[in-house]
Chain A
Protein backbone atom coordinates (compact mmCIF):
# COMPACT_ATOMS: atom_id res chain seq x y z
CA UNK A 1 0.00 0.00 0.00
CA UNK A 2 1.34 3.40 -0.90
CA UNK A 3 1.36 6.26 1.60
CA UNK A 4 -1.29 8.97 1.14
CA UNK A 5 0.08 12.10 -0.55
CA UNK A 6 1.46 14.75 1.78
CA UNK A 7 -0.67 17.86 1.98
CA UNK A 8 0.53 21.16 3.34
CA UNK A 9 -0.91 23.76 5.65
CA UNK A 10 0.24 27.32 5.16
CA UNK A 11 0.79 29.28 8.37
CA UNK A 12 0.38 32.91 7.36
CA UNK A 13 1.41 35.61 9.83
CA UNK A 14 0.84 39.33 9.30
CA UNK A 15 3.99 41.03 10.60
CA UNK A 16 4.93 44.70 11.06
CA UNK A 17 7.54 45.60 8.45
CA UNK A 18 11.21 45.07 9.39
CA UNK A 19 10.31 42.38 11.93
CA UNK A 20 9.81 39.66 9.31
CA UNK A 21 13.16 38.01 9.84
CA UNK A 22 12.68 37.67 13.56
CA UNK A 23 9.20 36.21 13.14
CA UNK A 24 10.52 33.88 10.43
CA UNK A 25 13.07 32.55 12.82
CA UNK A 26 10.51 32.11 15.57
CA UNK A 27 8.40 30.05 13.17
CA UNK A 28 11.30 27.74 12.32
CA UNK A 29 10.44 25.07 14.83
CA UNK A 30 9.87 21.37 14.33
CA UNK A 31 8.87 20.58 10.77
CA UNK A 32 8.71 24.24 9.70
CA UNK A 33 12.19 24.64 8.27
CA UNK A 34 11.62 27.25 5.58
CA UNK A 35 9.63 30.44 5.18
CA UNK A 36 8.44 32.68 2.37
CA UNK A 37 7.99 36.42 2.58
CA UNK A 38 5.19 38.29 0.84
CA UNK A 39 1.73 37.30 -0.29
CA UNK A 40 1.36 33.94 -1.95
CA UNK A 41 -0.31 35.22 -5.10
CA UNK A 42 -2.01 38.24 -6.58
CA UNK A 43 -5.33 36.57 -5.70
CA UNK A 44 -4.61 37.24 -2.03
CA UNK A 45 -5.30 40.75 -0.77
CA UNK A 46 -2.15 42.82 -0.29
CA UNK A 47 -1.22 43.31 3.36
CA UNK A 48 -2.05 46.69 4.89
CA UNK A 49 0.60 49.42 4.59
CA UNK A 50 3.49 48.84 6.99
CA UNK A 51 2.90 45.09 7.19
CA UNK A 52 4.13 42.02 5.34
CA UNK A 53 3.23 38.34 5.31
CA UNK A 54 5.61 35.72 6.68
CA UNK A 55 4.56 32.21 5.72
CA UNK A 56 5.75 28.82 6.80
CA UNK A 57 4.37 25.40 5.99
CA UNK A 58 3.35 22.35 7.98
CA UNK A 59 3.24 18.93 6.29
CA UNK A 60 0.03 17.00 7.00
CA UNK A 61 2.17 14.30 8.59
CA UNK A 62 3.16 16.76 11.32
CA UNK A 63 0.14 19.05 11.50
CA UNK A 64 -1.80 18.66 14.73
CA UNK A 65 -3.58 20.90 17.25
CA UNK A 66 -0.55 20.56 19.52
CA UNK A 67 1.88 21.75 16.86
CA UNK A 68 -0.39 24.67 15.98
CA UNK A 69 -0.66 25.60 19.66
CA UNK A 70 3.12 25.50 19.94
CA UNK A 71 3.49 27.86 16.99
CA UNK A 72 0.88 30.23 18.42
CA UNK A 73 2.58 30.19 21.82
CA UNK A 74 5.94 31.05 20.28
CA UNK A 75 4.39 33.95 18.38
CA UNK A 76 2.50 35.18 21.48
CA UNK A 77 5.73 35.24 23.46
CA UNK A 78 7.60 37.31 20.88
CA UNK A 79 6.46 40.72 22.15
CA UNK A 80 7.70 40.10 25.68
CA UNK A 81 10.83 38.22 24.59
CA UNK A 82 11.95 41.02 22.30
CA UNK A 83 10.50 44.01 24.13
CA UNK A 84 8.73 45.05 20.91
CA UNK A 85 5.11 45.93 21.67
CA UNK A 86 4.16 45.87 17.99
CA UNK A 87 4.68 42.10 17.95
CA UNK A 88 1.78 41.58 20.35
CA UNK A 89 -1.40 40.11 18.82
CA UNK A 90 0.10 39.01 15.51
CA UNK A 91 -2.64 37.85 13.15
CA UNK A 92 -2.17 34.18 12.25
CA UNK A 93 -4.10 32.10 9.72
CA UNK A 94 -3.85 28.40 8.96
CA UNK A 95 -4.78 27.50 5.41
CA UNK A 96 -4.78 23.97 4.05
CA UNK A 97 -3.38 23.81 0.53
CA UNK A 98 -4.68 21.42 -2.13
CA UNK A 99 -2.35 18.54 -2.90
CA UNK A 100 0.17 19.27 -5.60
CA UNK A 101 3.25 17.48 -6.91
CA UNK A 102 5.55 20.48 -6.59
CA UNK A 103 8.57 18.65 -7.99
CA UNK A 104 6.82 18.29 -11.35
CA UNK A 105 3.84 20.65 -11.56
CA UNK A 106 5.98 23.60 -12.76
CA UNK A 107 6.61 21.67 -15.98
CA UNK A 108 3.04 22.33 -17.10
CA UNK A 109 3.98 25.83 -18.16
CA UNK A 110 6.86 24.66 -20.35
CA UNK A 111 5.20 23.64 -23.59
CA UNK A 112 7.20 22.78 -26.70
CA UNK A 113 7.34 25.65 -29.19
CA UNK A 114 8.51 26.25 -32.72
CA UNK A 115 10.59 29.09 -34.08
CA UNK A 116 10.35 28.72 -37.87
CA UNK A 117 11.62 25.13 -38.43
CA UNK A 118 13.27 24.80 -35.05
CA UNK A 119 11.22 22.81 -32.53
CA UNK A 120 12.30 23.53 -28.97
CA UNK A 121 11.36 20.60 -26.76
CA UNK A 122 11.67 20.44 -22.97
CA UNK A 123 13.69 17.38 -22.01
CA UNK A 124 10.61 15.52 -20.67
CA UNK A 125 8.36 16.30 -23.63
CA UNK A 126 6.96 13.49 -25.72
CA UNK A 127 5.73 15.83 -28.43
CA UNK A 128 6.70 14.81 -31.94
CA UNK A 129 8.27 17.46 -34.17
CA UNK A 130 6.85 18.10 -37.61
CA UNK A 131 8.63 16.43 -40.54
CA UNK A 132 11.65 18.49 -41.50
CA UNK A 133 11.90 20.29 -38.17
CA UNK A 134 15.18 20.50 -36.36
CA UNK A 135 14.88 19.66 -32.69
CA UNK A 136 16.55 21.56 -29.88
CA UNK A 137 16.25 19.66 -26.60
CA UNK A 138 16.21 22.09 -23.71
CA UNK A 139 16.30 21.46 -19.97
CA UNK A 140 14.91 24.75 -18.69
CA UNK A 141 17.27 26.02 -16.08
CA UNK A 142 18.81 28.92 -14.30
CA UNK A 143 20.84 30.49 -17.06
CA UNK A 144 18.96 33.03 -19.15
CA UNK A 145 17.89 32.03 -22.63
CA UNK A 146 15.01 29.59 -22.92
CA UNK A 147 13.97 30.87 -26.32
CA UNK A 148 10.78 32.33 -24.92
CA UNK A 149 11.91 35.91 -24.77
CA UNK A 150 11.40 38.06 -27.87
CA UNK A 151 15.10 38.86 -28.19
CA UNK A 152 16.19 35.21 -28.15
CA UNK A 153 13.38 34.10 -30.41
CA UNK A 154 14.26 36.65 -33.08
CA UNK A 155 17.86 35.42 -33.01
CA UNK A 156 16.62 31.84 -33.53
CA UNK A 157 14.84 33.01 -36.69
CA UNK A 158 17.89 34.95 -37.93
CA UNK A 159 20.20 31.98 -37.37
CA UNK A 160 17.96 29.68 -39.42
CA UNK A 161 17.88 32.15 -42.27
CA UNK A 162 21.59 32.98 -42.36
CA UNK A 163 23.70 30.03 -41.20
CA UNK A 164 24.95 28.22 -44.31
CA UNK A 165 27.25 25.68 -42.63
CA UNK A 166 30.95 25.74 -41.76
CA UNK A 167 30.97 29.11 -39.95
CA UNK A 168 32.86 30.02 -36.80
CA UNK A 169 30.36 31.66 -34.45
CA UNK A 170 30.90 33.84 -31.40
CA UNK A 171 28.06 34.26 -28.90
CA UNK A 172 28.83 37.14 -26.53
CA UNK A 173 26.68 36.78 -23.39
CA UNK A 174 25.69 33.23 -24.21
CA UNK A 175 23.52 32.51 -21.13
CA UNK A 176 22.02 29.03 -21.49
CA UNK A 177 23.97 28.59 -24.75
CA UNK A 178 20.81 28.35 -26.83
CA UNK A 179 22.07 30.51 -29.69
CA UNK A 180 25.52 28.92 -29.96
CA UNK A 181 24.02 25.42 -29.77
CA UNK A 182 21.38 26.29 -32.38
CA UNK A 183 24.11 27.63 -34.66
CA UNK A 184 26.00 24.34 -34.26
CA UNK A 185 22.82 22.35 -34.93
CA UNK A 186 22.37 24.33 -38.12
CA UNK A 187 25.86 23.40 -39.27
CA UNK A 188 28.28 25.95 -37.81
CA UNK A 189 31.79 24.49 -37.66
CA UNK A 190 32.53 25.92 -34.24
CA UNK A 191 30.69 28.06 -31.68
CA UNK A 192 32.27 29.87 -28.75
CA UNK A 193 30.12 31.47 -26.04
CA UNK A 194 31.01 33.41 -22.93
CA UNK A 195 28.94 34.90 -20.14
CA UNK A 196 29.65 36.69 -16.88
CA UNK A 197 26.91 34.60 -15.18
CA UNK A 198 28.91 31.96 -13.28
CA UNK A 199 26.13 29.38 -13.64
CA UNK A 200 25.83 29.78 -17.41
CA UNK A 201 28.85 27.74 -18.49
CA UNK A 202 27.58 24.54 -16.85
CA UNK A 203 24.11 24.89 -18.40
CA UNK A 204 25.50 25.73 -21.81
CA UNK A 205 27.87 22.76 -21.83
CA UNK A 206 24.99 20.47 -20.81
CA UNK A 207 22.76 21.92 -23.53
CA UNK A 208 25.46 21.31 -26.16
CA UNK A 209 25.90 17.73 -24.94
CA UNK A 210 22.15 17.02 -24.85
CA UNK A 211 21.97 18.12 -28.46
CA UNK A 212 25.02 16.20 -29.61
CA UNK A 213 27.08 19.25 -30.60
CA UNK A 214 29.42 19.48 -27.62
CA UNK A 215 32.42 18.69 -29.82
CA UNK A 216 31.78 21.92 -31.72
CA UNK A 217 30.77 24.21 -28.84
CA UNK A 218 32.91 25.81 -26.18
CA UNK A 219 31.73 28.01 -23.35
CA UNK A 220 33.63 30.15 -20.89
CA UNK A 221 32.83 32.22 -17.83
CA UNK A 222 33.80 35.85 -18.13
CA UNK A 223 33.43 38.95 -20.27
CA UNK A 224 34.97 40.52 -23.31
CA UNK A 225 38.48 39.44 -22.32
CA UNK A 226 37.52 36.18 -24.07
CA UNK A 227 37.53 37.89 -27.45
CA UNK A 228 40.39 36.42 -29.49
CA UNK A 229 40.68 36.28 -33.25
CA UNK A 230 37.82 36.74 -35.66
CA UNK A 231 34.57 34.93 -36.41
CA UNK A 232 32.26 34.58 -39.37
CA UNK A 233 29.24 35.31 -37.18
CA UNK A 234 29.03 37.39 -34.01
CA UNK A 235 25.89 37.17 -31.86
CA UNK A 236 25.17 39.34 -28.83
CA UNK A 237 21.82 39.01 -27.11
CA UNK A 238 22.70 41.21 -24.15
CA UNK A 239 21.82 44.58 -22.65
CA UNK A 240 22.04 47.18 -25.37
CA UNK A 241 24.16 49.53 -23.27
CA UNK A 242 26.79 46.76 -23.17
CA UNK A 243 26.54 46.43 -26.96
CA UNK A 244 27.06 50.20 -27.25
CA UNK A 245 30.04 50.10 -24.88
CA UNK A 246 31.68 47.15 -26.67
CA UNK A 247 30.58 47.84 -30.25
CA UNK A 248 34.20 48.26 -31.38
CA UNK A 249 35.25 45.01 -29.65
CA UNK A 250 32.37 43.15 -31.29
CA UNK A 251 33.20 44.68 -34.67
CA UNK A 252 36.87 43.70 -34.29
CA UNK A 253 35.81 40.11 -33.60
CA UNK A 254 33.92 39.94 -36.88
CA UNK A 255 35.82 38.76 -39.96
CA UNK A 256 35.47 40.81 -43.16
CA UNK A 257 32.23 39.82 -44.88
CA UNK A 258 31.03 38.21 -41.63
CA UNK A 259 27.59 39.00 -40.27
CA UNK A 260 26.24 39.89 -36.86
CA UNK A 261 22.96 39.88 -34.93
CA UNK A 262 22.79 42.13 -31.89
CA UNK A 263 19.61 41.67 -29.90
CA UNK A 264 18.36 42.72 -26.47
CA UNK A 265 17.78 46.29 -27.58
CA UNK A 266 14.63 47.97 -26.21
CA UNK A 267 12.93 50.50 -28.45
CA UNK A 268 14.21 53.53 -26.54
CA UNK A 269 17.83 52.38 -26.95
CA UNK A 270 17.55 51.56 -30.65
CA UNK A 271 18.91 54.90 -31.96
CA UNK A 272 21.97 54.89 -29.70
CA UNK A 273 22.72 51.23 -30.43
CA UNK A 274 22.38 51.76 -34.16
CA UNK A 275 24.75 54.73 -33.98
CA UNK A 276 27.34 52.78 -31.97
CA UNK A 277 27.26 49.93 -34.50
CA UNK A 278 27.75 52.27 -37.46
CA UNK A 279 30.54 54.17 -35.66
CA UNK A 280 32.30 50.84 -35.10
CA UNK A 281 32.48 50.41 -38.88
CA UNK A 282 29.73 47.85 -39.33
CA UNK A 283 26.89 48.12 -41.81
CA UNK A 284 23.25 47.51 -40.96
CA UNK A 285 21.23 45.30 -43.26
CA UNK A 286 17.99 44.83 -41.37
CA UNK A 287 16.26 45.62 -38.13
CA UNK A 288 13.66 43.26 -36.74
CA UNK A 289 11.14 44.32 -34.15
CA UNK A 290 9.27 41.94 -31.86
CA UNK A 291 7.17 43.69 -29.23
CA UNK A 292 9.32 46.50 -27.89
CA UNK A 293 12.57 44.70 -28.69
CA UNK A 294 14.81 45.43 -31.65
CA UNK A 295 17.33 43.06 -33.22
CA UNK A 296 19.95 44.68 -35.42
CA UNK A 297 21.45 42.53 -38.17
CA UNK A 298 24.29 43.51 -40.47
CA UNK A 299 27.81 42.80 -41.64
CA UNK A 300 31.40 43.92 -41.59
CA UNK A 301 32.28 45.20 -45.05
CA UNK A 302 35.09 43.53 -46.97
CA UNK A 303 38.25 45.56 -46.46
CA UNK A 304 39.87 47.51 -49.28
Chain B
Protein backbone atom coordinates (compact mmCIF):
# COMPACT_ATOMS: atom_id res chain seq x y z
CA UNK B 1 0.00 0.00 0.00
CA UNK B 2 1.14 3.59 -0.57
CA UNK B 3 2.07 4.77 2.89
CA UNK B 4 2.07 8.44 3.88
CA UNK B 5 3.72 9.10 7.23
CA UNK B 6 2.06 11.54 9.66
CA UNK B 7 4.02 10.91 12.84
CA UNK B 8 6.89 9.14 14.57
CA UNK B 9 6.63 8.22 18.26
CA UNK B 10 9.51 7.03 20.40
CA UNK B 11 8.84 5.04 23.55
CA UNK B 12 10.56 2.63 25.89
CA UNK B 13 8.36 -0.11 27.27
CA UNK B 14 9.01 -3.30 29.19
CA UNK B 15 9.21 -6.29 26.87
CA UNK B 16 6.02 -8.36 26.85
CA UNK B 17 4.34 -6.00 29.32
CA UNK B 18 3.16 -2.89 27.44
CA UNK B 19 -0.34 -1.70 28.37
CA UNK B 20 -2.71 1.02 27.09
CA UNK B 21 -1.76 3.13 30.14
CA UNK B 22 0.58 6.10 29.68
CA UNK B 23 2.80 6.61 27.85
CA UNK B 24 1.36 4.26 25.21
CA UNK B 25 -2.26 5.45 25.48
CA UNK B 26 -1.81 9.21 25.17
CA UNK B 27 1.08 8.95 22.70
CA UNK B 28 -0.76 6.70 20.24
CA UNK B 29 -4.31 7.76 21.06
CA UNK B 30 -3.62 11.31 19.96
CA UNK B 31 -2.89 9.87 16.50
CA UNK B 32 -6.03 7.70 16.51
CA UNK B 33 -3.97 4.51 16.48
CA UNK B 34 -5.55 1.23 17.61
CA UNK B 35 -3.84 0.94 20.97
CA UNK B 36 -4.91 -2.63 21.65
CA UNK B 37 -3.39 -3.71 18.32
CA UNK B 38 -0.08 -2.00 19.11
CA UNK B 39 0.08 -3.46 22.63
CA UNK B 40 -0.62 -6.94 21.30
CA UNK B 41 1.97 -6.72 18.53
CA UNK B 42 4.63 -5.17 20.76
CA UNK B 43 4.16 -7.75 23.49
CA UNK B 44 4.29 -10.59 20.99
CA UNK B 45 7.47 -9.19 19.41
CA UNK B 46 9.21 -8.74 22.76
CA UNK B 47 8.00 -11.66 24.83
CA UNK B 48 11.50 -13.17 24.60
CA UNK B 49 12.78 -10.14 26.55
CA UNK B 50 10.09 -10.14 29.22
CA UNK B 51 10.42 -7.10 31.51
CA UNK B 52 13.53 -5.77 29.78
CA UNK B 53 13.14 -2.12 28.74
CA UNK B 54 12.86 -2.07 24.94
CA UNK B 55 13.09 1.15 22.90
CA UNK B 56 10.53 1.23 20.10
CA UNK B 57 9.83 3.69 17.30
CA UNK B 58 6.30 3.73 15.97
CA UNK B 59 5.48 5.18 12.56
CA UNK B 60 1.90 6.39 12.12
CA UNK B 61 0.44 6.70 8.64
CA UNK B 62 -2.14 9.07 7.30
CA UNK B 63 -4.87 6.44 7.42
CA UNK B 64 -4.06 5.98 11.15
CA UNK B 65 -2.50 2.58 10.69
CA UNK B 66 0.99 2.05 12.04
CA UNK B 67 4.07 -0.07 12.13
CA UNK B 68 6.99 -0.12 14.51
CA UNK B 69 10.62 -1.11 14.81
CA UNK B 70 12.42 -2.21 17.93
CA UNK B 71 15.60 -0.24 18.45
CA UNK B 72 18.89 -1.41 19.93
CA UNK B 73 18.71 -2.27 23.66
CA UNK B 74 19.70 0.52 26.09
CA UNK B 75 23.45 1.01 26.55
CA UNK B 76 23.21 -0.20 30.14
CA UNK B 77 21.84 -3.55 28.98
CA UNK B 78 24.63 -3.91 26.42
CA UNK B 79 27.21 -3.00 29.05
CA UNK B 80 25.85 -5.55 31.51
CA UNK B 81 25.96 -8.18 28.77
CA UNK B 82 29.54 -7.20 27.92
CA UNK B 83 30.49 -7.41 31.62
CA UNK B 84 28.61 -10.72 31.92
CA UNK B 85 26.44 -9.30 34.71
CA UNK B 86 22.84 -10.07 35.48
CA UNK B 87 22.32 -6.78 37.34
CA UNK B 88 23.99 -3.38 37.71
CA UNK B 89 25.19 -1.83 40.93
CA UNK B 90 22.97 -1.97 43.98
CA UNK B 91 24.07 1.46 45.20
CA UNK B 92 24.25 3.31 41.91
CA UNK B 93 27.56 5.06 41.25
CA UNK B 94 29.35 3.71 44.30
CA UNK B 95 29.70 -0.03 44.07
CA UNK B 96 31.81 -1.54 41.26
CA UNK B 97 30.10 -4.73 40.14
CA UNK B 98 31.91 -5.50 36.91
CA UNK B 99 34.25 -4.28 34.23
CA UNK B 100 34.41 -3.83 30.49
CA UNK B 101 37.27 -2.90 28.18
CA UNK B 102 37.56 0.35 26.27
CA UNK B 103 37.18 -1.66 23.05
CA UNK B 104 33.84 -3.01 24.30
CA UNK B 105 32.71 0.52 25.14
CA UNK B 106 33.62 1.68 21.65
CA UNK B 107 31.81 -1.27 20.12
CA UNK B 108 28.66 -0.42 22.09
CA UNK B 109 29.04 3.28 21.21
CA UNK B 110 29.18 2.41 17.51
CA UNK B 111 26.05 0.30 17.83
CA UNK B 112 24.19 3.00 19.77
CA UNK B 113 25.44 6.09 17.97
CA UNK B 114 22.45 6.49 15.66
CA UNK B 115 19.82 5.78 18.32
CA UNK B 116 21.51 8.13 20.78
CA UNK B 117 21.46 10.85 18.14
CA UNK B 118 25.15 11.62 18.73
CA UNK B 119 27.07 13.82 16.34
CA UNK B 120 30.24 11.71 16.49
CA UNK B 121 31.66 8.55 17.99
CA UNK B 122 33.47 10.47 20.74
CA UNK B 123 30.14 11.82 22.04
CA UNK B 124 28.64 8.32 21.96
CA UNK B 125 31.64 6.87 23.82
CA UNK B 126 31.25 9.54 26.51
CA UNK B 127 27.60 8.63 27.02
CA UNK B 128 28.34 4.90 27.17
CA UNK B 129 31.12 5.61 29.68
CA UNK B 130 28.73 7.67 31.80
CA UNK B 131 26.18 4.87 31.62
CA UNK B 132 28.83 2.36 32.70
CA UNK B 133 29.84 4.52 35.64
CA UNK B 134 26.25 4.95 36.80
CA UNK B 135 25.70 1.17 36.45
CA UNK B 136 28.75 0.36 38.58
CA UNK B 137 30.74 -0.96 35.65
CA UNK B 138 34.39 0.04 35.44
CA UNK B 139 35.94 0.79 32.05
CA UNK B 140 39.49 -0.54 31.80
CA UNK B 141 42.22 0.35 29.36
Cβ–Cβ < 8 Å partners of A258 in chain B: none
Interface size class for chain B?
Answer: 35 or more
Asked if B1 and A28 sit within 8 Å, CB to CB, the answer is no
Most A C-beta atoms less than 10 A away, residue of B26, B28, B74, B93: B26
Q: Does A244 contact B (CB under 8 A)?
A: no
Interface size class for chain A?
Answer: 35 or more
Assembly CA distance A265 to B28 (angstroms)? 28
Asked if A19 and B127 sit within 8 Å, CB to CB, the answer is yes
Cβ–Cβ < 8 Å partners of B14 in chain A: 33-34
Asked if A145 and B65 sit within 8 Å, CB to CB, the answer is yes
Cβ–Cβ < 8 Å partners of B33 in chain A: 106
Asked if A264 and B93 sit within 8 Å, CB to CB, the answer is no
Asked if A110 and B32 sit within 8 Å, CB to CB, the answer is yes
Assembly CA distance A239 to B74 (angstroms)? 34
User: Beyond A41-B30, A238-B2, A293-B2, is A82–B11 a contact (Cβ under 8 Å)?
Assistant: no
| Residues in B49-100 with C-beta less than 8 Å from chain A | 53, 55, 61-67, 74-76, 92-93
Asked if B64 and A34 sit within 8 Å, CB to CB, the answer is no
Asked if A142 and B35 sit within 8 Å, CB to CB, the answer is no
Asked if B2 and A28 sit within 8 Å, CB to CB, the answer is no
The A/B interface has a contact count, at CB < 8 Å, of: 192
8 Å CB contact of A84 from B12, B65, B124, B130: B130
Asked if A21 and B116 sit within 8 Å, CB to CB, the answer is yes
User: Beyond A18-B116, A82-B131, A102-B26, is A149–B12 a contact (Cβ under 8 Å)?
Assistant: no
Nearest residue (CB) in B for A155 is B1
Cβ–Cβ < 8 Å partners of A78 in chain B: 134
Assembly CA distance A84 to B130 (angstroms)? 7
Q: Does B141 contact A (CB under 8 A)?
A: no
Interface 1/0 per residue, A147-183 and B, CB below 8 Å: 1110110000000000000000000011110000000
Report, nearest first, the 10 A-B pairs whose CB atoms are least far apart.
A102-B25, A264-B2, A82-B130, A81-B93, A36-B23, A109-B32, A57-B22, A175-B1, A81-B134, A149-B63
Q: Which residues does B use to contact A, with CB under 8 Å?
A: 1-4, 9-14, 17-18, 20-30, 32-38, 41, 53, 55, 61-67, 74-76, 92-93, 112, 115-118, 123-124, 126-127, 129-131, 133-134
